């Protein structure tokens, strides 16, 4: 008689679990992107002063930052509260590239009905979003580090690629790899792409712009 072997059936993929894993990866990518963007500010006095102004504003108590963590969000809307309330919606991210440089399309709306609908949309997402400590991310830029650590980082920035290539060519020391561009010595080293399209909506006392997008 032919031998019959029991074959184990593969586990049925769990769509919900796969979706959560993908979202978790996107959130990590979003945080990593923010860190890289911070690190790209540079060493100039102007960049340093700008980062400190941003940090003072984030810790002033007049602004809240949240991140939508239960879904992907790609929409961008800027709600301006004044004597004549309006909303701007379109493709632009709230970045230097997204506003004056890229070819984008944004439309301004001032009709009360449209503004109210966008505000309701934003408020619903705001309530679902989670507090996000953007200030802590920028505080890390000003943490003190030993000169020796800074020196080692400089050496790695200068020779890291050569060491990694040599390890690949010789097969020796293949544990050598180029770390993240995140600078661990209190000053920049690092970019803002996104593994996922999460967002950090922002609410302030005078206005509630939302960088709702990737």
Q: Structurally, how many domains does the chain consist of?
A: 2
Q: What ranges make up the beta strands (E) of 38-122?
A: 63-67, 76-80, 86-90, 106-109
Q: Does one domain contain both 175 and 202?
A: no
Q: Give the model confidence (pLDDT) of 38-53 as tens digits.
A: 888 887 899 999 999 9
Q: Is residue 13 part of a domain?
A: no
pLDDT band at residue 199 under the 50/70/90 scheme: very low
Q: In whole angstroms, give the CA distance from residue 14 to residue 24.
A: 15
Q: Does one domain contain both 54 and 78?
A: yes
Q: Does one domain contain both 97 and 52?
A: yes
In this structure, are residues 213 and 73 in contact, taking their beta carbons and an 8 Å threshold?
A: yes
Residue ranges making up the domain that contains 149: 144-185
**Closest by CA position to 153, among listed 183, 186, 188:** 183
pLDDT band at residue 2 under the 50/70/90 scheme: low
Q: Is residue 10 part of a domain?
A: no
How far CA 119 is from CA of 1, 77, 90, 99, 139, in Å, comes to 73, 9, 15, 22, 31
Percent residues over pLDDT 90 in the chain: 37
Q: Is residue 41 part of a domain?
A: yes
**Residue 168: φ, ψ to 5°:** -65, -45
Q: Does one domain contain both 193 and 177?
A: no
Q: Does one domain contain both 98 and 82?
A: yes
Q: Is residue 2 part of a domain?
A: no
- Overall size of the chain counted in residues: 214
Q: Is residue 151 part of a domain?
A: yes
């Amino acid at each position: 008689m032919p031998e019959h072997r029991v074959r184990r059936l593969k586990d049925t993929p769990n769509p919900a679990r796969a979706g959560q894993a993908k979202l978790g990866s996107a959130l990590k990518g979003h945080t990593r992107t923010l860190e890289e963007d911070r690190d790209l500010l540079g060493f100039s006095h102007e960049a340093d002063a700008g980062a400190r102004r941003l940090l003072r504003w984030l810790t002033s108590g007049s602004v809240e930052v949240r991140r939508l963590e239960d879904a992907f969000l790609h929409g961008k809307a800027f709600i301006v509260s004044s004597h004549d309330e309006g909303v701007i919606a379109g493709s632009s991210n709230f970045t230097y590239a997204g506003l004056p440089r890229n070819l984008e399309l944004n439309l301004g709306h001032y009709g009360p009905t449209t503004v109210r609908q966008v505000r309701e949309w934003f408020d619903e997402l705001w309530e679902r979003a989670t507090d996000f400590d953007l200030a802590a991310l920028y505080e890390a830029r000003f943490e003190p580090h030993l000169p020796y650590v800074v020196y080692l980082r400089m050496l790695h920035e200068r020779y890291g690629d050569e060491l990694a290539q040599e390890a690949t060519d010789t097969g020796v020391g293949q544990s050598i790899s180029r770390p993240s561009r995140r600078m661990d010595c209190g000053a920049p080293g690092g970019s803002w792409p996104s593994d996922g399209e999460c967002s950090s909506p922002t609410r302030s006392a005078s206005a509630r712009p939302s960088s709702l997008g990737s």
